Amino acid sequence: MLLIKNGLVIDPSQNINETLDILIENKKILKIEKNIKANKDMEVINANGMIVAPGFIDLHVHLREPGKEYKETILTGCQAAAKGGFTGIACMPNTSPVIDNESVVELIKARANKYNLVDVYPIASITKGQEGKELTEYGILKETGAIAFSDDGVGVSSSGVMRRALDYAKAFDALIMCHCEDESLAGDGVMHEGVMSTKLGLAGIPSIAEEIMLERDIALAEFTKGKIHICHVSTAKGVEIIRNAKNRGVRVTAEVTPHHISLTDEAVKDYDPNTKVNPPLRTKEDIDALIEGLIDGTIDCIATDHAPHSIEEKEVEYDYAPFGMVGLETAVPIAFEKLVKTNKLDYLQIVKVLSTSPAKILGLDKGSLREGTEADITIIDPNLTQKVDVNKFYTLGKNTPFNNLELTGWPVYTIKDGNIIMNQGVVVE
Ligand SMILES: NC(=O)N[C@@H](CC(=O)O)C(=O)O
Ligand SMILES: [Zn+2]
Ligand SMILES: [Zn+2]
């Protein structure tokens, strides 16, 4: 038995915001009450001064296995998730081979189960090989365990294919996750198109490259009555488009990444390839609108878009480096620093966007501390200040622009099915 004593329990699913004790038995939450007496059969965590929340869920992660294990493996990705306070992650299909058939879904599930750290939910591709042409078998894939469908990494350029994908997905009540990027507008761009890209002499990716496909995907979701989730929204106009769509009743949800709410294109000024990410870091006005979107619920959740790459791949000229940055081990402190410390989101709201909402989007019975549910719990020390240190990362990817940054509000325990899988930043196997 595990007893978590005197923590500030934050559970948006039950609107709990109160100092309580949580008793866990047989992997499940047995009870949440004031002053549960400890006895000698219980392991006790003193959570005085800490936030005790339902386990965080990251619905947008790139594990590179199978195929690119030098960037990340399922094991290192799961360890990074546990360290970062996540008890569940959904992984994108841009692996090699692509997750476009049952055997790859099964392989990922089997390996993740063997490691027994965090839940891993494979996302299958919308089209075979993510080539944007032929749809995959949504029914069979969903039955095998695909939690959603996405061609993340590239936009589905054909509107006809996207329409068919939405129609077909609807038959299985499946979720389509959209990477909104019009290739012909993004071109060879490597950063946000604006004053900064001109100054630096780098090719730009205009905001419209994202917004035009966002408009299209929303129009198609409205037309087909399908269900879409927008990945990594990065522009102010994008937030407005989603807000209007939600007001019309379109079935759309959206995520924002920690980097898009904390960095602008100014960060590119020293040509650090670790600032190269897709969509690119944009402007202060975009950040303000993204945060406003989180506050009013237009943007449902925070997702990392954890995208590990090797040092060799990243340590090249800006133009040649791959897009992407790691995020699992820095997401929570960045979110706390940028959103909680600044009083933009309160505790209930931050836990909602990191746990309850992503669980709901994926249709999981998670994101809650209800009695009787599996004991997936994240404990945060909101006053712990420490520096990001890539040398302590579990992920194989060291590609972050946040190294050495001092942040306040770190996960200190991750509990999965009643077992402590991370204690004070150390993953326990
Ligand atoms: N975000 C990125 O910059 N890169 C992602 C792909 C993606 O999320 O579109 C990757 O797989 O590396
Ligand atoms: Zn993407
Ligand atoms: Zn991604």
pLDDT digits over 77-93, tens only? 999 999 999 999 999 99
Q: Is residue 2 over pLDDT 80? A: yes
The finding on whether 62 has its CB within 6 A of some atom of ligand 1 is yes
CA angle at 301 for the pair 295 and 304, rounded to the nearest 5°? 125
Q: Indicate the pLDDT class of residue 429, thresholds 50, 70 and 90.
A: confident
Measure 153 CA to ligand 1 centroid, in angstroms: 5
Residue of the nearest CA to atom 6 in ligand 1? Answer: 153
Q: Which two tokens stand for residue 185?
A: 């507008």
Residue of the nearest CA to atom 10 in ligand 1? Answer: 307
Catalytic residue among 305, 346, 376, 417: 305
The finding on whether 150 has its CB within 6 A of some atom of ligand 1 is no
CA angle at 59 for the pair 55 and 63, rounded to the nearest 5°? 105
Instruction: Output the CA–CA distances (angstroms, integers) from residue 18 to 41, 42, 350, in the order listed.
Output: 26, 22, 15
Give the architecture (CATH level 2) of 2-51+373-424. Roll (2.30)
The structural domains of the chain, with segments of one domain joined by +, span 2-51+373-424, 55-362
Percentage of the chain modeled with pLDDT above 90? 100
pLDDT, averaged across the chain? 98
pLDDT digits over 36-68, tens only? 999 999 999 999 999 999 999 999 999 999 999
Any idea which fold 55-362 has? TIM Barrel (3.20.20)
On whether the CB atoms of residues 162 and 142 are closer than 8 A, the answer is: no
| Nearest partner of 147 among 44, 229, 65, judged by Cα | 229
Q: Which atom of ligand 1 is nearest to the CA of 276?
A: 3
Q: Indicate the pLDDT class of residue 20, thresholds 50, 70 and 90.
A: very high
pLDDT digits over 330-382, tens only? 999 999 999 999 999 999 999 999 999 999 999 999 999 999 999 999 999 99
CB atoms within 10 A of CB 189: 17
The finding on whether 323 has its CB within 6 A of some atom of ligand 1 is yes
Active site residue 305: yes
Q: Which two tokens stand for residue 283?
A: 């402007």
Assess whether the previous peptide bond of 54 is cis (omega < 30° from 0).
no
Instruction: Output the CA–CA distances (angstroms, integers) from residue 118 to 76, 82, 150, 190, in the order listed.
Output: 11, 7, 21, 34
Ligand with an atom nearest the CA of residue 309: 1
229 in a labelled binding site: no
Residue 200 confidence (pLDDT):
98
State the average pLDDT over residues 230-241.
Answer: 99
Counting beta carbons within 10 angstroms of the beta carbon of residue 417, is it exposed (0 to 12), middle (13 to 18) or buried (19 or more)?
middle
State the average pLDDT over residues 414-425.
Answer: 98
> Which residues are CB-neighbours of 407 under 8 A, at least 6 positions away?
330, 333, 334, 336, 337, 385, 386, 387, 388
Length of the chain in residues, anyone? Answer: 429
On whether the CB atoms of residues 223 and 293 are closer than 8 A, the answer is: no
Q: Which atom of ligand 1 is nearest to the CA of 308?
A: 12
- Scanning the structure block, which residue is given the tokens 């990065």? 234
**Terminal Cα distance for the chain, rounded:** 18
| Nearest partner of 295 among 243, 368, 358, 230, judged by Cα | 243
**Strand ranges, E, within 96-220:** 119-124, 148-150, 176-178, 191-192, 204-205
Q: Is residue 116 over pLDDT 90? A: yes
Residue type, 350: I
Alpha helices in 145-283 (DSSP H): 159-171, 183-186, 195-200, 207-224, 236-248
Residue 274 confidence (pLDDT):
98
Residue 207 has phi, psi (to 5 degrees) of -55, -35
CA 329, CA 313: separation in Å to the nearest integer?
21
State the average pLDDT over residues 125-131.
Answer: 98
Residue 286 has phi, psi (to 5 degrees) of -65, -45
